[in-house]
Amino acid sequence: MANKLLTQHKKNYLKQKSGLHNFIKKFEEKTVTGINAMVEEANDETWKEVECLSCANCCKVMTPTFTKADLKRISKHFRMSEKDFYNKWLETDKKNGDKVNRIQPCQFLNVEDNKCSIYEIRPEDCAKFPHFKRKPFADYSYIHIQNIEYCPATLKFINKLQEKIDAKFEW
Ligand code: SF4
Ligand code: SF4
Please give all residues whose beta carbon lies within 6 A of any atom in ligand 1, as ranges.
50, 52, 55-58, 129-130, 150-153
CA–CA separation, 157 and 44 (whole Å): 9
Q: Tell me the per-residue pLDDT of 77-96, one tens digit each, with 9 for 90 and over.
A: 999 999 999 999 999 999 99
State residue 20's pLDDT score.
Answer: 96
- Atom 1 of ligand 2: nearest residue by CA position: 122
CA–CA separation, 69 and 47 (whole Å): 28
Ligand 2 pocket test: pick from 55, 59, 63 the residue with the most ligand atoms within 8 Å of its Cβ: 59
- Checking phi first, is residue 115 left (phi over 0); if not, alpha (psi -120 to 50) or beta? beta
Ligand 1 pocket test: pick from 147, 151, 157 the residue with the most ligand atoms within 8 Å of its Cβ: 151
State residue 3's pLDDT score.
Answer: 83
Tell me: pLDDT of 55 over 90.
yes
Tell me: pLDDT of 37 over 70.
yes
- Give the Å distance between the CA of 29 and the centre of ligand 1: 28
Tell me: pLDDT of 171 over 80.
no
State residue 17's pLDDT score.
Answer: 97
How many C-beta atoms lie closer than 10 Å to residue 109's C-beta? 18
Q: Name the residue ranges covered by the structural domains of the chain.
A: 2-59+130-168, 64-120
Tell me: pLDDT of 154 over 70.
yes
* Span between the terminal Cα atoms of the chain, in Å: 37
Q: Tell me the per-residue pLDDT of 82-139, one tens digit each, with 9 for 90 and over.
A: 999 999 999 999 999 999 999 999 999 999 999 999 999 999 999 999 999 999 999 9
**Amino acid, res. 137:** F
- Atom 8 of ligand 2: nearest residue by CA position: 59
Q: What is the pTM of this model?
A: 0.94
Give me the percent of the chain exceeding a pLDDT of 70.
98
State residue 169's pLDDT score.
Answer: 84
How many C-beta atoms lie closer than 10 Å to residue 17's C-beta? 12
CA–CA separation, 171 and 165 (whole Å): 9
